[in-house]
Amino acid sequence: MPRVGPSRPTITDVAKAAGVSKGAVSFALNGRPGVAEETRARILAVAASLGWTPSHRARALSASRAFSVGMVIARPPELLGADPFYPSFIAGVERTLSDRGQSLVLQVVPDLSVEEASYRRLATAERVDGVFVLDLRLGDPRIALLAELGLPAVTIGRPDVPSNHPALLVDDRPGVTAAVAHLAGLGHRRIAHVSGPLHFLHGSVRRQAWEQALADAGLTAGPCVESDFSAAGGAQATRALLDTGDPPTAIVYGNDLMAIAGLSVAVQLGIRVPDELSITGFDDTELAGYVTPTLTTVRTDPFGWGRAAADALLDLIDGRPGADIPTPPAPLVVRGSTAPPPTRHP
């Protein structure tokens, strides 16, 4: 039986009601120049009154575009869900994509072994017009892969291999440097670090910044434990650091999730924070201001980064020259989890 009911309004219907050409309607509805503002406003008002909505399929066929961008994340799903960075970054991406009539294709793969295949499927099936590259790794092979596939891309951070893709210039070093300088200024001499995975570029950069900041303060590098950015990993690393004959008086964590878990471990062990142990995090997630004591941490802006990265990728797809996107240095937010050490180490 044929479907009975009102037909969906088309661009032709909007053009007829507004008294303009279909080309003018297309320009107005897609935010393109070439239409007077008064005419654009009239067209948008008519489209709204008719209940017109865009046909994604028609747009894609007419423009040979998917009107979608991709994001492939190679992390265990349970870890991805626990890390506040990703929901905030994706929310920023989605906000910009929604404003510009685009959609996001998100693929979460369990490990690196299937990551390349995911990018190849997205490219060969023409499901996306470009991709975001997160969690840059040392010598990241995805940069060459995307060049081979001809996929426009924006990287979150500058890769350590040659890359023609525009990068969101996120620099973690100033934040870590500020955290170490703050602790050293309080009198701490044995400052440990719980890092993220060191095959991730940001995990490695944060560790290097910690080491350099200690050297700049005239201090030798304290112990460092590599973890995985998870709460469980942060707790395990904290126990390893505190269960020694000469435990640190301060710990710089690679993210807030590990820092909050470390704070909990210290409480369980009867170690008072910040009287006996100072703790700093990285990200300034929402919980950082609500734990007891409140967490001293580095404030980042993943929502803003998501918006900026999405704008840059869509501009690149539209044929505009791709340029790196600067971001302001992340500031240190001093709260209640840091204080002078109980005794000053020589």
Question: Is 86 inside any structural domain?
Answer: yes
Q: Say whether 285 sits in a helix, a strand or coil.
A: coil
Which residues are CB-neighbours of 266 under 8 A, at least 6 positions away? 238, 242, 272, 273, 277, 279
Q: H/E element holding 134?
A: none
| pLDDT of amino acid 27 | 74
Kindly report, residue by residue over 134-146, the tens digit of the pLDDT. 999 999 999 999 9
Tell whether the model's pLDDT for residue 345 goes beyond 50.
Answer: no
Question: Is 61 inside any structural domain?
Answer: no
CATH value at residue 153 = 3.40.50.2300
Q: What per-residue string of b and e applies to 206-238 under the rule 16 or more CB within 10 Å gives b?
A: bbebbbebbeebebeebbbbbbbbbbebbbbbb
Asked whether residue 214 falls in the same domain as residue 257, the answer is yes
CATH value at residue 20 = 1.10.260.40
Number of domains in the chain: 3
Kindly report, residue by residue over 191-200, the tens digit of the pLDDT. 999 999 999 9
Asked whether residue 181 falls in the same domain as residue 216, the answer is yes
Asked whether residue 242 falls in the same domain as residue 225, the answer is yes
Question: Is 346 inside any structural domain?
Answer: no
Mean pLDDT of the region 35-51:
84
Asked whether residue 48 falls in the same domain as residue 136, the answer is no
Could you tell me which of 197, 42, 37, 65 has the C-alpha nearest to residue 126? Answer: 65
Asked whether residue 150 falls in the same domain as residue 236, the answer is no
Q: What is the rounded distance in angstroms from the CA atom of residue 312 to the CA atom of residue 102? A: 13
| pLDDT of amino acid 7 | 64
Asked whether residue 226 falls in the same domain as residue 157, the answer is no
Asked whether residue 287 falls in the same domain as residue 180, the answer is yes
Kindly report, residue by residue over 63-95, the tens digit of the pLDDT. 456 688 999 998 877 777 778 888 999 999 999
pTM of the entire predicted model: 0.79
Question: Is 6 inside any structural domain?
Answer: no
Asked whether residue 226 falls in the same domain as residue 293, the answer is yes
Q: Which domain holds residue 116?
A: 68-170+302-326
Tell whether the model's pLDDT for residue 268 goes beyond 80.
Answer: yes
Kindly report, residue by residue over 131-190, the tens digit of the pLDDT. 999 999 999 999 999 999 989 999 999 999 999 999 999 999 999 999 999 999 999 999
Token pair of 123 as six digits: 């490219």
